[in-house]
Amino acid sequence: MNAHEIDYQIFGEEMQFVEIELDPYETIIAESGSFMMKDEEIEMATIFGDGSQRNEDQGIWGKVLSAGKRLITGESLFLTAFTHGGSGKRKVSFAAPYPGRIIPLDLSILQGKIICQKDAFLCAAKGAEVGIEFSKKMGRGFFGGEGFIMQKIEGDGMAFMHAGGTVVERDLDMGEVLHIDTGCLVGFTRSVDYDIEMIKGVRNMIFGGEGVYYARLQGPGKVWIQSLPFSRLADRVLRSSKNYGRGAGKGEGSVLGGLGDLLDGDNW
């Protein structure tokens, strides 16, 4: 194995964090801002690029290219590396950024590569490569929810993704097709064929409230689906905040609901 071998434990239900146990000179790399706590003997360093061995072998230009790819996906130019420089076993923990689930991924048994949404990566054993995956299909790039660029995690060690709400893992057989809301797709293995498919029926497209396209995934391979995309959660919070202080919410649970707010004069 090229990646460092690590042990871990996930704590919590709605707001989870993962605790990583490191042996001497083992390193974990993590997304900036995900650090929660660590033992004193573990040293933190900010690294430029993705932290992979290939990135190190390519020198400064390899690091610049790797960092540039991360910038395209909307992530920071830098990752943080936590290395155990003492003796015995020591622990470092990383927290999820919003309610949901942390997904452990053993890349050695997942074809060595996971393609995922742009903000899914949380942390990984040193040796993993965090890069970008370009869509080769025009329709998927325009209408797939994630655009032309997704994130990829490659290697042969442990990595961790995060997704919103409840996370479901589906194993697709050869030729089996699964339709998913484009925002609910978290990630999939390299053998899965990912495309988009238009929702059938004009009435469904216009009034269904589910958009115009499904994400279409065809097996074989594994797929991870989230029940609460962060964009959906943020949209609901934003809409509620716009109505805050204008009588919004007073009709919740009543028979008239929003119509009652309109009739009581608060919205006139």
Tens of pLDDT, residue by residue over 23-43, are 999 999 998 889 999 999 999
The pLDDT of 243-266, averaged and rounded, is 47
125 pLDDT more than 90: yes
Closest CA to 153 of 119, 111, 121, 193: 121
**Angstrom distance (rounded) from CA 47 to CA 235:** 33
Residue 216 contacts residue 179 (beta carbons within 8 Å): yes
Task: List C-alpha distances in Å: 186 to 125, 157, 225.
Answer: 20, 20, 5
Contact by Cβ (8 Å): 171, 222: yes
Token couple for 203: 């009435």
For the record, the structure tokens of 257 come out as 């609901």
Q: Is the pLDDT of residue 267 over 50?
A: no
pLDDT, mean over the chain: 78
Note whether 151 and 121 are within 8 A (CB): yes
Looking at residue 265, what is its pLDDT?
A: 43
- Percent share of the chain, pLDDT over 90: 43
Global pTM reads: 0.75
Query: What pLDDT does 86 receive?
Result: 87
Per-residue buried b or exposed e for 67-76, using 16+ beta carbons within 10 Å of the residue's own CB: bebbeebebe
User: Residue 229 has what pLDDT?
Assistant: 82
End-to-end CA distance of the chain, in Å?
Answer: 67
pLDDT of residue 250: 44
Q: Is the pLDDT of residue 91 over 80?
A: yes
Residue 65: phi, psi to the nearest 5?
A: -65, -45
The DSSP bridge partners found for residue 187 are 116, 224
Assign domain 7-161 one CATH number from 2.60.120.10, 3.40.50.1220, 3.60.160.10, 3.40.50.720: 3.60.160.10
- For 11, the 3-state DSSP assignment is strand
Q: Are 228 and 164 in contact (CB under 8 A)?
A: yes
| CA–CA distance, 140 with 227 (Å, rounded to integer) | 21
